[in-house]
Amino acid sequence: MTRDMTGETTAELEWKGRTGPFTIRVNPGVFAPTHTSRTIAEALEIAPGDTVIDVGCGSGVLSFVAARLGAARVIGCDISGEAVEVARGNARLLGLEDRVEFRVGSLLDPVRGERANVIIGDVSGIPDEIAEVSGWFPDGRAGGPTGAELPAAMLESIRENDCLAPGGRLYLPTGTIQNESRILEVARRIFGAANLQSLLSREFPLPDVVARSKAVARMMKEGVLDLHARGSRLLWRLQVWRCEMPPPGARQLPAV
């Protein structure tokens, strides 16, 4: 543990996922990489020379994985100014400042006017009430009432800002711990059903404090969550999708 210039306690963390091991720093107010981060990293397909946008970059970990896989340029963005500061520090630590930059702002607004061929779309997607019980989001920014609202807004933001080139790929995590069908409905409308492919699927146990919460029981009853039991544990399933952007003429019209 060290203290930065603002007096925040900074912890060093060893990333053991794809392209690791490497060390990054996180503050208590910044999202620390999880199983989800590791699974997305495993699914990423980066070609040398790719331009990558990492939306919801947090500490910057997936931006660094993309750079280490050969991306020519990576722009990470996050609504949290603290996360962006931490990510910039991590880029310096890893000697990646020449290829990786970070910007503050909501969704794809900070990259308006940029065109990427890869987007990593890992914004918060856990229902607000579950996030509160779990403590997974240190700054309290979760995914909305069903966990689908923020990811769905991110998909719309990709379309509105036109920042994914035709043939470009979005890597999108979804899970049964959120209203997954709502997110996939929006993704199918924007990318076309034939352009969505599930690349990876993993199951994880829910921590007991979350599994036993009233919010989980209610949302399961309402059909928002689709968890299943194994022994005494409740499991959720994470999927990582590749969503390929069709050429402009083949795109779906926005819903009215």
Ligand X SMILES: C[S@@+](CC[C@H](N)C(=O)[O-])C[C@H]1O[C@@H](n2cnc3c(N)ncnc32)[C@H](O)[C@@H]1O
Positions that interact with ligand X (CB under 6 A): 31, 33, 37, 55-59, 61-62, 78-80, 83, 106-107, 122-124, 141, 150
Q: Which is nearer to ligand X, 62 or 67 (CB)?
A: 62
Which of 29, 35, 21, 28 lies closest to 1 in space, CA to CA?
A: 28
Q: How would you list the strands of the sheet with 9-15, edge to edge?
A: 2-3, 9-15, 22-26
Residue 247: CB minimum distance to ligand X, A: 27
Q: Who's near 111: CB < 8 A, 6+ residues apart?
A: 53, 55, 75, 77, 103, 161, 163
- How crowded is residue 70: how many other Cβ atoms within 10 Å of its Cβ? 13
Residue 165: CB minimum distance to ligand X, A: 21
Q: Which is nearer to ligand X, 111 or 234 (CB)?
A: 111
Calculate the alpha carbon distances from 21 to 15, 31, 34, 209, 233 in Å: 5, 19, 15, 31, 30
Residue 255: CB minimum distance to ligand X, A: 21
Residue 193: CB minimum distance to ligand X, A: 26
Q: Which is nearer to ligand X, 56 or 168 (CB)?
A: 56
Q: Which is nearer to ligand X, 35 or 193 (CB)?
A: 35
- β-strands 22-26, 233-244 pairing: unpaired
Q: Which is nearer to ligand X, 38 or 99 (CB)?
A: 38
Residue 192: CB minimum distance to ligand X, A: 25
When CB distances to ligand X are compared, the closest residue is: 58
